[in-house]
Amino acid sequence: MNTEILGVVLMFVTTILIALPLGRYIGKVYSGHHTWLDRILHPIDRIIFKFIGVNPEKEMNWKAQLSALLIINLIWFLLSMLVLMTQGVLPLNPDNNPSMTADLAFNTSISFISNTNLQHYSGETGVSYLGQLTLMLFQFISAAAGMAICAVVFIAMKEKVTDKLGNFYALFVKSITRILLPMSIVIAILLLFAGTPMTFKGKDQFVSLQGDTVNVSRGPAAAMIAIKQIGTNGGGFFGVNSAHPFENPNYFTNIVETIAILLIPIAMIFALGFMIQKKRFAWMVFGIMLLGFLLFLIPSIYLEMKGNDSIRKMGITQNLGSMEGKEVRFGPAASAYWAISTTVTSNGSVNAMHDSLTPLTGMFAMLGMMVNAFFGGVGVGFLNFYIFIIIAVFISGLMVGRTPEFMGKKIEAKEMKIAAIIALLHPFLILVGTALSSYIFAHNPTFYAGWLNNPGNHGYSEMLYEYTSSSANNGSGFEGLGDNTPWWNISCGIIMLLARFLPIIGPVAIAGILAQKKYTPESAGTLKTDTGTFGVMILAVIFIIAALSFFPALTLGPIAEYFSQHS
């Protein structure tokens, strides 16, 4: 087996082997079972709850859960705006980086509280160390909020009839203290010993071989990179993210960071099986997500290792594959694996430039975000998949003439209306944003010339990718796009905000409504939802919605670019 392919296989197998026990541990944390960290962390939890004035034992219904989520996110947004717009005069700014403009601070604040981490700035010059630490705090907060609200849905699926679905604040705090913080510490230590900087000193200087004096940015990077990966945040300390040799020094750190991308999204599926005591259902969900993931991954690795057809026509051999925009220390296979892993989840970090991916690999990366349900972000990935489950149950019930039921609860008009709205919201935000930008650029090409470095189909793909990344709360980009402008900052900010919280509100509302309904035990006429047949039905629903919604847009972008190379 090719050593590059072997490296990819070993990374994925290792991820699964770690995710299995991690999922059981997460399930214990959210179920209130005793874990080995409780003795150390229970006193810390009590201090936190006493400080914020919350009784963690008080049960909350689904409406109260959502209210808590939205209110605290508003507070964090305002705090972030304050810090970013005044960072130039605040401490911990040894490199004297300026304060952000209002539109850039708006975009960045929404980006980090929504777990998107879309960066319209370069970390070395755009943010002070205090700003980086503030954004790192939000990387913990946004990831924990997604995991906590997902746990609420797990509890709703578990209970037969109830309106009490745990306590959001307790689930949120435990997500940080029991899961995200310990894992981030381990990853940060591994990165630190591998060469990633962790310092509050300013730029360092060295004399190059040419005799030039070069200023090198550094900072408290190891800690931020750890949570950016494990929390599917994706926002890097440096401008080129994990393609930077400080963020990702060697193949070992690449393995650690790649595993971290998928680890919690996969583990949450196994946590679901533990919590609701339906392991067969959890394995069905995992199998469908894995199949969708492989349908994007396998052709992407093949295309990147094959090389660029346009370069081949020039008579240039590509023994290493398509290496434009990639790091030699990683190669095309590991880069393609990272690209698909980071886009099927809401991670968005990069170890190669996605703008330089071959056209169809770029399409698969976009499809990962357009589907937004194959593993997905920490917590919210399953919430997106949950919507497709509800739709598939309803359609399957109608097809076989049975009452649509899921986990012993009838799926009725109210739940289907919510599911349909949430399923259509994602393509609506992406396609409307892309259409408006295309119209504006087409009618003012001179004024907006700085937007696109690449005209034609690829330029269109850059705009489509930006809105797809924003709506999927992903944060990666085709960086040929000049996106630090008021239009892109504000429009992407609005889309990130809507695409983060409405798809959370919808599934939680459905789960909360179903939890209050009368429980009907399974019978011979009950539709089985833990079988491979039902899994195929879910997959069909996902691809029909994605194909019908996005195929015309993809035809104008990466598909047209692919055929133009072979014309």
- Phi, psi angles (nearest 5°) of residue 342: -75, -20
Q: What integer pLDDT is reported at residue 193 of this predicted model? A: 94
Residue type, 550: F
pLDDT by 10s per residue, the chain, length 567 = 588 999 999 999 999 999 999 999 999 999 989 888 888 888 888 899 998 888 998 999 999 999 999 999 999 999 999 999 999 999 999 999 999 999 999 999 999 999 999 999 998 889 999 999 999 999 999 999 999 999 999 999 998 888 889 999 999 999 999 999 999 999 999 999 999 999 999 888 888 888 888 888 899 999 999 999 999 999 999 999 999 999 999 999 999 999 999 999 999 999 999 999 999 999 999 999 999 999 999 999 999 999 888 888 888 888 889 999 999 999 999 999 999 999 999 999 999 999 999 999 999 999 999 999 999 999 999 999 999 999 999 998 888 777 788 988 899 999 999 999 999 999 999 999 999 998 888 887 766 667 777 778 999 999 999 999 999 999 999 988 888 999 999 999 999 999 999 999 999 999 999 999 988 887 766 778 889 999 999 999 999 988 889 999 999 999 999 998 877
CB 132, CB 219: distance < 8 Å? yes
Q: What's this model's pTM, rounded to 2 decimal places?
A: 0.95
Helices (H), 444-476: 456-471
Q: What integer pLDDT is reported at residue 497 of this predicted model? A: 96
Residue 194, domain extent: 3-565
Is residue 526 packed enough to be buried (19+ CB in 10 Å), middle (13-18) or exposed (0-12)? middle
Q: What integer pLDDT is reported at residue 104 of this predicted model? A: 96
With tokens 């590509």, the residue in question is 318
CA 383 to mean position of chain CA atoms: 13
- Total structural domains within the chain: 1
Helices (H), 372-412: 380-400
Calpha distance 236→188 (Å, rounded):
14
CB 110, CB 77: distance < 8 Å? yes
Q: Is 485 helix (H, G, I), strand (E, B) or coil?
A: coil
Q: What integer pLDDT is reported at residue 446 of this predicted model? A: 67
Calpha distance 78→100 (Å, rounded):
14
- Phi, psi angles (nearest 5°) of residue 119: -120, 110
CB 228, CB 235: distance < 8 Å? yes
Which residues have a Cβ under 8 Å from the Cβ of 244 and sit 6 or more positions away? 236, 238
Cβ density class 372-401: b for 16+ within 10 Å, e for less: bbbbbbbbbbbbbbbbbbbbbbbbbbeeee
